Amino acid sequence: MAKKDIVIYPAIFDPEPESHAINVTFPDVPEAITYGRNETDAAFYANEVLGLALVDRKRKLPKATPINEIPLKDGQYVVMIAVDLKEAKKTIC
């Protein structure tokens, strides 16, 4: 059974060849931008920034774009990020 406070959005992971860092953006939540030193870091910070961005929104949550409709550049890939909005609210209150 799914929790109603958990939402899932696709994130675009964009590795930097020189620094090995991974930039992360969300097509459906453009204000949510972060990066990590590796994939684990990037996923952790992506969860954090997505939660904060969605909790801070004053309007309805956007619908997640299907993965097959997300345009990617060379080297980019999609990672689905789940966030518990109830938990995210606790971090800013």
pLDDT digit string (tens) for 30-72?
A: 999 999 999 999 999 999 999 999 998 878 999 999 999 999 9
**Taking the model in full, what pTM does it have?**
0.91
Determine, yes or no, domain membership for 57: yes
What gap in Å lies between CA 53 and CA 65, rounded to an integer?
A: 17
Determine, yes or no, domain membership for 30: yes
Structural domains counted in the chain: 1
Could you please report the per-residue DSSP string of the chain?
A: ---TTEEEEEEEEEE-TTT--EEEE-TT-TT-EEEESSHHHHHHHHHHHHHHHHHH-SSPPPPPPPGGG----TT-EEEEEEEEHHHHHHHH-
So what's the pLDDT on residue 69?
Answer: 97
For residue 80, give its domain range: 6-92
- CATH code where residue 17 lies: 3.30.160.250
Determine, yes or no, domain membership for 69: yes
Quick check: 8 and 26 in contact, CB under 8 A?
A: no
